[in-house]
A and B are shown apart, each in its own frame.
Chain A
Amino acid sequence: MLARIASEALNGLEGHPVEVEADVVAAAPSFSVVGLPDAAVQESRERVRSAIVNSAYEFPSRRITINLAPADLRKEGPSFDLPIALAFLVATGQVNDGCDGRGPLAAVGELGLDGSLRPVAGALALAESLRRRGLRGLLLPAANAAEASLVRGLEVYPASTLSEAVAQLSAGGARPAPPADLAALLGSAPAGEADFSDIVGQDAVKRALEVAVAGAHNVLMSGPPGAGKTMLARRLPSIMPALTLAEAIEITRVYSVAGLLPAEAPLIARRPFRAPHHTISSPGLVGGGGTPRPGEVSLAHLGVLFLDEFPEFRLAALEGLRQPLEDGEVTISRRLTSITFPARLMLVAAMNPCPCGYLGDRERECLCPPHRLRQYGSRLSGPLLDRIDLRVEVPRVSPRDRRSERLGEGSVDVRARVARARRRQLARLAGTGIYANAHMSARHLRRLCTLEADAVALLDRAYERLHLSARACDRIVKVAQTIADLEESPTVGVAQVAESLSYRARSRHDR
């Protein structure tokens, strides 16, 4: 007898329909899986066999053929265990598919030898794709249910064992999971612990970081060791604007596919802050691997990627940042497929001005030989630096500031201003699918930003005098727009463009 169960395969974040067919005939006994399965899918035979026997079902001695259609799509991972087991049980007449006339249920899940169901990666993306295909419901491991119920318009049927899955299937879906309370999940984000007021002085740097966070612009902080660069960066989460629901879903999708979604939190409700060490490999940073996985740039999607000791990163890793910084996504190409992960991150980089760290310091002499200076600076390529909107110097804290008892402005106040500026952006960018000024395309820029006449004149002069690239010019306007949003000004004036230009200007010791 022949049986079919619908399932879904993931290629990056993109779902593809997979039909699991089981055929059982009386012939010399064998159990084979065809349809371009990888090693994990081949091994699923052993898990399915044990799970079926240990769940008190029969495993008859006949020829069993499992086909995963379409046969030209590579099937990876253990998520086909459950549909294979269910198709087998229907084909051997041990279970009735109770979905007649109501539209089929799809199934995904990994089986343990005892018949328990283990969670699979990417349940959110799978559920979204099934809903787009118009499937009625999804049968999946209980541990994935909360995540899949984030999707509206798809019934979610959890099961923690094969027997429970069989019960759900034979009833055509009996006990659906309750839909997620999205507002409650989104509101549950804990606030950051470290506060901006911990940092004394550095008012200019704080202003630059406020502008950067308000519009999700990239920043490079340069200064001697111990000036507070890392401390400042670590406090960025405390001033970042709250996530919108659409943003939270986008981030959760990436974490789900990477298998990094915490069991107790089905929705990522805080902006990510990723701080990989400078020894990270290029695939680790931008994504890759045999079965491509999202890298740090994608895990920092709509959040912050903090790269401390920026010039110490591997050259390949640094240059790999170019595409995500420009396009807001990463495309990983393989022989048979290419996979795109989102990567709209805000880059926060920190570096010393030179290898010894004291170039340009007021009191301490730089001890670097000239060739080391040249080498250090040249690790950051022009195209990479061109994509950094704000460059700020973080000087050593002056002795007076260090002793000062006066606290700086607290994160709460800064975050309120940032949130206000971000709301103005969201209103202006409604319907574009982007959430911050930094991600505007050149077309958005022309259509949505109003520059005053003298601001245009200043920009034109700067373009010629400073030999700016066209991209740099666009980025200057975006930062100026963010400053205008912080000041709640409807148009971008000469003051905002001037401040924006000051962040772009090459610092004294830039090459």
Chain B
Amino acid sequence: MNARQSYGRAAEETAARYLEARGWRLLGRNVRIGRGELDIVARHGSALVFVEVKARRTRACGSPEDAVTPLKRRQVARLAELWLAARPWALRGVAEVRFDVVAVDGTRRPAEVRHLQGAFTLDG
């Protein structure tokens, strides 16, 4: 694991703690489906949320939110559908399903966590 990858892991840890501190129940982390991976799957009240975590140490490549490209959205959306298809019971008691982005911005000290609810949908 190189420095960039380990920074990513650390950011996912930050995001998970951030969500848990706000009463979210994490159903899975780094859920592998085929070649893809869902960063965090969580329940928050009646919502089932798929969370994509993005982290940036510098501004050289833009903000972390900008890193969730249309390709990435499509990947996450497809993985979420596969995840749901394998677990029909997961929708029990669920009123809404969401895709959120948690951005860990390392350009500030301490690192700032920004949470974008409903960042995207299946159709973009």
Contacts and interface: CB of A to CB of B under 8 A. Distances in A.
Interface on chain B toward A: helix, strand, loop, or mixed SS?
mixed
Interface string B61-79: 0000000000000000100
B104 to A, nearest CB: 22
A190 B123 CA distance: 54
Interface stretch (A22-30, A135-143, A395-403, A451-459): A22-30
Interface residues of B, number: 16
B122 A61 contact: no
Interface string A16-37: 0000000000111111100000
A28 B81 CA distance: 7
Nearest to B99: A29
B84 A29 contact: no
Nearest to B123: A30
Nearest to A60: B96
Interface in A264-283: none
Contacts of B84: 27-28
Contact of B96 (A26, A30, A32): A26
A28 B96 contact: no
A22 B122 CA distance: 17
Nearest to A30: B122
Interface string B93-124: 01111110000000000000000001001110
A30 B118 CA distance: 11
A131 interface: no
Most chain-B Cβ atoms within 10 A of its Cβ — which of A30, A31, A32, A45?
Answer: A30
A139 B94 CA distance: 35
Contact of A62 (B80, B96, B99): B96
B91 interface: yes
A32 B77 CA distance: 15
Contacts of B94: 26
A26 B48 CA distance: 9
Nearest to A49: B121
Residue from A26, A27, A28, A31 whose CB has the most chain B CB atoms within 10 Å: A28
A32 B98 CA distance: 16
Which 5 A-B pairs rank lowest in CB-CB distance, beginning with the nearest?
A30-B122, A29-B121, A61-B98, A61-B96, A30-B123
Interface of B: 47, 77, 80-81, 84, 91, 94-99, 118, 121-123
17 contacts: A27-B84, A27-B91, A27-B97, A28-B84, A28-B122, A29-B97, A29-B118, A29-B122, A30-B121, A30-B122, A31-B123, A32-B123, A45-B123, A61-B118, A61-B121, A62-B97, A63-B122
Given A28-B121, A45-B123, A60-B96, 19 more contacts: A26-B91, A26-B94, A26-B97, A27-B97, A28-B80, A28-B99, A29-B99, A29-B118, A29-B121, A29-B122, A30-B121, A30-B122, A31-B121, A61-B97, A61-B98, A61-B99, A62-B95, A63-B97, A63-B122
